[in-house]
Amino acid sequence: MNNLNNRLKKALDERKQQHRYRSRRISEGPQQVEMQIDDKDIISFSSNDYLGLANHPQIKQAMIDGVKNYGVGSGAAHLVNGHSRAHHLLEEELAEFTGYPRALLFSTGYMANLGVCQALLDKNDFVFEDRLNHASLIDGGLLSGARFQRYLHNDVSSLQKKLDKAAGTVTDKQHTKLVLTDGVFSMDGDIADLPPLSDLCNKTASWLMVDDAHGFGTLGRTGRGSLQHYSLDHNDVPIYMATLGKAIGTAGAFIAGSDELIETIIQQARTYIYTTAMPAAIAEATRCSLKLIQNETVHLDKLNHNIHYFRKCCDEASLSIENSQTAIQPLLIGDDENAMSISHLLFEQGFLVTAIRPPTVPEGTSRLRITLSAKHQKAHIDKLIETLSSMIETDT
């Protein structure tokens, strides 16, 4: 036993030396901009609660009412008796909101991505992924056992080459080709070039799946996500996935698609079949959140206002942020240790900004991942910019 632990310790120590050791901080109270973390008052610039709904009074009340009506645990998987009226209504409302024939709930986005890949692919099939896709899409593709290829980031001609090559290796046309992309790239904040991706997938009879974890609720005029941003619909992107734990402020995820696609996932996806349904109260809270974002555009308007304001301030302070129009605004640092030390210094000054290092991002591209929320006030942003510019100056 000692021997086994010693081996772990050695690997952990190595990781520390590489400045890649990950550790958790303890936060008190709800997710919001001003929080207490590790007993310190901080302003958070690292949440995915982009619309500030995770602690919204109406949504909280909906969850409390949900507990009164449905209890706490759902007690079983959806295919046993865990699929409540609340889950079913939420699926219908998600389908309507996204404009897809059907939607299917999953307990987490990670499981949704694994489930779709496993349901659609086997070892004779092909899966193509953007190099910067989220880990859950990469894992889904790898675990499916299909022939796995990554194309250059947001590069449709790179995908085209891989698709052409794949077509050359098989004679019959029965192989499934699945192309997976983030809608908004989670560590870079840029938006996938969906119109040409969709055209290419149509031309090559490939399925296109968009993981819109960071676009759903935040992009498009009414928050319908990256498809609305480009005026696309379910005919252009046959598989749409989004999570509910980010802008929507609750938990879980869904897949939207055709009736046949959803039924196939229900029959085949092990991460759907063999897991307990999310609590019905979460479905009730999510239904409330979905109504709220459709009735009140102030949240999205405020987020967009903050994005513009933040970028304007960065410009004026000559901070070289990446070219992102979304709530994710990365400040590239490069070196792992440097990124970590700036993040620590910021914490001491009362800001939570996470440093993102390899393997989450490619080598040499360690960065501060600054995320904005509808709940940030001008003063929060001003203070961050002021602090950042003093640090980056003294640093270089």
| Smallest separation (angstroms) from ligand PLP to the CB of 367 | 16
Q: Which residues, 6+ apart, have CB-to-CB distance to 168 below 8 Å?
A: none
Distance CA 270, CA 117 (A): 11
- Minimum distance of ligand PLP from residue 211's CB (angstroms): 5
Element (H, E) at 390: helix 378-395
E-strand stretches of the chain = 27-28, 34-37, 40-44, 102-106, 126-130, 147-151, 177-182, 207-211, 239-243, 253-257, 328-334, 351-352, 354-356, 366-371
The residue number with the shortest CB distance to ligand PLP is 109
Which tokens sit at 364?
């040499």
Query: Can you say whether residue 367 is alpha, beta or left, with left for phi > 0 and alpha for psi between -120 and 50 degrees?
Result: beta
The amino acid present at 222, given as its one-letter code, is T
Minimum distance of ligand PLP from residue 355's CB (angstroms) = 17
304 or 371, CB closer to ligand PLP?
371
Q: Which is nearer to ligand PLP, 354 or 385 (CB)?
A: 354
Residue nearer to ligand PLP on the CB measure, 181 or 306: 181
- CB closer to ligand PLP out of 108 and 366: 108
Cα-based distances in Å from 378 to 42, 121, 343 = 16, 48, 21
Output the six-digit token pair for 209.
């799946």
User: Which DSSP helix (H) or strand (E) runs through 226?
Assistant: helix 226-229
Q: Which is nearer to ligand PLP, 247 or 342 (CB)?
A: 247
Q: How far is the CB of 183 from ligand PLP (least distance, A)?
A: 8
Q: What's the min distance (Å) between Cβ of 68 and ligand PLP?
A: 26
In whole angstroms, the minimum distance from the beta carbon of 184 to ligand PLP comes to: 8
Q: Quote the CA–CA distance of 346 and 256 in Å, as a whole number.
A: 40
Question: What is the rounded distance in angstroms from the CA atom of residue 130 to the CA atom of residue 117?
Answer: 15
Report which residue type is found at 292.
L
The residue among 62 and 253 lying less far from ligand PLP, judged by its C-beta, is 253
Nearer to ligand PLP, 175 or 188 (CB): 188
CB of 253 to ligand PLP, least distance (A): 5
Report the interface residues with ligand PLP, using CB under 6 A: 108-110, 113, 134, 136, 182, 186, 211, 213-214, 243, 245, 253
Name the CA dihedral angle for 53, 251, 132, 340, rounded to a multiple of 10 degrees.
70
- Residue (253 or 319) nearer to ligand PLP, CB: 253
CB 227, min distance to ligand PLP, A:
15
* Residue 310 structure tokens: 């933040």
